[in-house]
């Protein structure tokens, strides 16, 4: 069944009213008809199975058939502090990050970032990528996209425990880190991933001074867009969230 | 330092002779000069640090300065049986799979594959993607690309233990599977990943009849190209190969 995140206010008792983009999807793109069923998500963690009852030009309506708690959220919340990457790579990280189970994204500007600017249109495009990936992967909470911030500000304001993956780190492995406190029993992990050229030593040192733990992803040199996905997969696997 | 896989025969005692594509890279693309150093890999597991001594039109030469065992190979060999995907997705799986540490790829044709054909030019392109990713990620063994095979033939001939990730599997998780025999102490794992539409039940059943273990990657529905990368990351993490 097709899945749609909608504003909470669109659900009143057992009636759902659709306008704007979801109406366009239901009526024109997917050409659904009355009696067709969809899943509606109000970002509360619940899933609503809805039967379409009417499709009009200005709005459509549906009736809630069933309400059940969603299964798509991992028990550990991962906040991904991703240094800006070239457009297609960054968008891939957003899409795959949502599929895997990231809870929130904080785009950061690090010294070696090639791309450094955000724009309203880019933020809008990133939000749509996140929403589509969340619907497709059966998430029930829409991951949050925070505004672009500087690496320094991100280090200062990050929620702990926080991890930074660094390709030059040789002693502390991701596994050792995750299997010991404070990462072992935490319900929230902040994860820093660098840009194409990696984090320079000075940024790594700045992170350490701000209480961020630096760990290694192993012997192979991963591209920036691969490192985040590998680290997220490893964290979710460790926490029993990968099957 | 730039890294190049070359045929073993190009290294004679402590002299390396370059022709064809590596010569083009050294002389024209990277514009290296005598006294510049590169890393040469002969697919033996060793790395050779080489100083360029001469660059000509027909060939270039270098002198081996140091020979050391490479660090880039995981202790567990993963053979990825990937159902054919749309071109860009399949190429992404090859590239990221090599970075993460896949040992060999077997492209398979499964019932729901949209793309079903191989061609000599495609195989050549796939080999180049694999080689570039292996050089960039500091692998010392070049992952093997096997010819495209049918899903049935792959199931019959696969090296055990073998795993198939299936989104409809609800009971057996990847973690339970990896932490128990025969996967716990194996040095080789075959991994089946489906096409965009997933494996149909009949294919899953066929795999089971051929002794392949079916496991789940968790509650979120991953795209075909994400599932393989997540499963590879999880296997390498479990085996202590992700840092």
Render pLDDT for B66-97 as a digit per residue (tens, 0 to 9): 999 998 899 999 999 999 999 999 999 999 99
**Which among A165, A220, A227 is the top mutation candidate for probing chain B, defined by the most B β-carbons within 10 Å of its own β-carbon?**
A220
Residue B44 lies in a domain: yes
Task: Tell whether B72 is within 8 A of chain A (Cβ).
Answer: yes
Tens digits of residue pLDDT in B95-104 = 999 999 999 9
Say whether both B86 and B106 belong to one domain: yes
Q: Which residues pair with A167 in a beta bridge?
A: none
Residue B243 lies in a domain: no
Tens digits of residue pLDDT in A191-200 = 999 999 999 9
Taking contacts as CB-CB distances below 8 angstroms, the residues of chain A near B241 are: 218-219
State percent of chain B over pLDDT 70. Answer: 100
Q: Which of B47, B69, B91 is the last residue of a domain?
A: B69
Band (pLDDT 50/70/90 cuts) for residue B230 is very high
Flag whether pLDDT at A118 surpasses 80: no
Residue A117: the pLDDT is 76
Taking contacts as CB-CB distances below 8 angstroms, the residues of chain B near A229 are: 96, 226, 229-230, 233
The tally of domains found in chain B comes to 2
pTM of the model: 0.94
Q: Do B174 and A72 touch (CB under 8 A)?
A: no
Band (pLDDT 50/70/90 cuts) for residue A181 is very high
Q: Which of B100, B165, B220 sits opposite A99 (nearest CB)?
A: B220
How would you write B76-110 as a 3-class SS string? Answer: CEEEEEEECCCHHHHHHHHHHHHHHCCCEEEEEEC
Flag whether pLDDT at A243 surpasses 80: no
Considering only residues B116 and B236, tell me which one the structure prediction assigns the higher pLDDT.
Answer: B236
Residue A114: the pLDDT is 86
**CATH assignment at residue A110:** 3.40.1280.10
Residue A115: the pLDDT is 80
Residue B110 lies in a domain: yes
Say whether both A163 and A104 belong to one domain: yes
Residue B117: the pLDDT is 76
Residue B114: the pLDDT is 86
State percent of chain A over pLDDT 70. Answer: 100
Q: A56: distance to nearest CA of chain B, Å?
A: 32
Residue B154: the pLDDT is 98
Band (pLDDT 50/70/90 cuts) for residue A120 is confident
Q: Do B223 and A99 touch (CB under 8 A)?
A: yes
Taking contacts as CB-CB distances below 8 angstroms, the residues of chain B near A238 are: 237
Flag whether pLDDT at A237 surpasses 90: yes
Flag whether pLDDT at B118 surpasses 90: no
Q: Do A242 and B230 touch (CB under 8 A)?
A: yes
**CATH assignment at residue A38:** 2.40.240.20
Could you give the CA distance from residue A111 to residue A197 in angstroms, rounded to a whole number?
Answer: 9
Could you give the CA distance from residue B4 to residue B9 in angstroms, rounded to a whole number?
Answer: 14
* Closest-CA residue of chain B to A239: B175
Task: Tell whether B64 is within 8 A of chain A (Cβ).
Answer: no
Residue A8 lies in a domain: yes
Question: What ipTM was assigned to the predicted interfaces of this complex?
Answer: 0.93
Say whether both B82 and B158 belong to one domain: yes
Range of the domain at A208: 77-238
Residue whose C-alpha is closest to residue A58's, from A26, A13, A97: A26
Residue B19: the pLDDT is 96
Task: Tell whether A229 is within 8 A of chain B (Cβ).
Answer: yes
Taking contacts as CB-CB distances below 8 angstroms, the residues of chain A near B140 are: none
| Mean pLDDT of all residues in A191-217 | 97
B228: its two tokens: 């393989």
Taking contacts as CB-CB distances below 8 angstroms, the residues of chain B near A236 are: 218
Residue B133: the pLDDT is 97
Q: A57: distance to nearest CA of chain B, Å?
A: 33
Say whether both A148 and A218 belong to one domain: yes
Q: Which of B74, B101, B243 sits opposite A216 (nearest CB)?
A: B243
Residue B158 lies in a domain: yes
Task: Tell whether B175 is within 8 A of chain A (Cβ).
Answer: yes
Say whether both B58 and B151 belong to one domain: no
Taking contacts as CB-CB distances below 8 angstroms, the residues of chain A near B236 are: 218
Residue A216: the pLDDT is 94
Q: Which of B175, B221, B223 sits opposite A242 (nearest CB)?
A: B175
Could you give the CA distance from residue B116 to residue B150 in angstroms, rounded to a whole number?
Answer: 10
User: Could you give phi then psi for residue B85, rounded to 5 degrees?
Assistant: -125, 170
Say whether both A143 and A122 belong to one domain: yes
Say whether both A155 and A95 belong to one domain: yes
Say whether both A113 and A206 belong to one domain: yes
Residue B120: the pLDDT is 78
Q: Which of B42, B69, B96 is the last residue of a domain?
A: B69
How many Cα atoms sit within 13 Å of B89 on the Cβ side? 20
Q: Do A220 and B96 touch (CB under 8 A)?
A: no
Residue A153 lies in a domain: yes
Show Cβ contacts of residue A16 under 8 Å, excluding neighbours closer than 6 positions.
A6, A10, A40, A48, A50, A61, A62, A63, A64
Could you give the CA distance from residue B201 to residue B220 in angstroms, rounded to a whole number?
Answer: 19
Band (pLDDT 50/70/90 cuts) for residue B113 is very high
Q: Is B242 exposed, middle or buried (0-12, 13-18, 19+ CB in 10 A)?
A: buried
Q: B233: distance to nearest CA of chain A, Å?
A: 5
To the nearest whole number, what is the mean pLDDT of chain B?
95
Tens digits of residue pLDDT in A29-85 = 999 999 999 999 999 999 999 999 999 999 999 999 999 999 889 999 999 999 999
| Mean pLDDT of all residues in A158-183 | 95
């Amino acid at each position: 069944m097709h899945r749609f995140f909608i504003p909470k206010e669109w659900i009143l008792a057992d009636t759902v009213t659709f306008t704007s983009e979801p109406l366009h999807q239901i009526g024109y793109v997917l050409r659904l008809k009355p009696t067709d069923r969809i899943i509606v998500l109000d970002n509360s963690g619940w899933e609503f199975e809805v039967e379409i009852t009417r499709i009009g030009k200005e709005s459509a309506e549906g009736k809630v058939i069933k309400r059940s708690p969603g299964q798509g959220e991992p028990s550990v919340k991962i906040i991904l502090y991703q240094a800006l990457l070239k457009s297609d790579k960054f968008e891939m990280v957003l899409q795959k990050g949502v599929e895997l189970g990231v809870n929130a994204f904080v785009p950061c500007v690090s010294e070696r970032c090639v791309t450094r600017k955000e724009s309203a249109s880019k933020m809008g495009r990133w939000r749509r990528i996140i929403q589509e990936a969340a619907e497709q992967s059966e998430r029930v909470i829409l991951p949050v996209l925070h505004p672009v911030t500087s690496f320094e500000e991100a280090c200062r304001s990050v929620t702990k425990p926080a991890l930074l993956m660094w390709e030059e780190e040789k002693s502390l492995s991701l596994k050792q880190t995750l299997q010991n406190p404070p990462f072992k029993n935490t319900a929230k992990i902040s994860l820093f991933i660098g840009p194409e050229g990696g984090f320079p030593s000075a940024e790594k040192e700045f992170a350490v001074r701000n209480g961020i733990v630096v760990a290694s992803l192993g012997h192979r040199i991963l591209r920036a867009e691969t490192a985040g996905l590998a680290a997220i997969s490893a964290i979710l696997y460790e926490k029993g969230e990968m099957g």
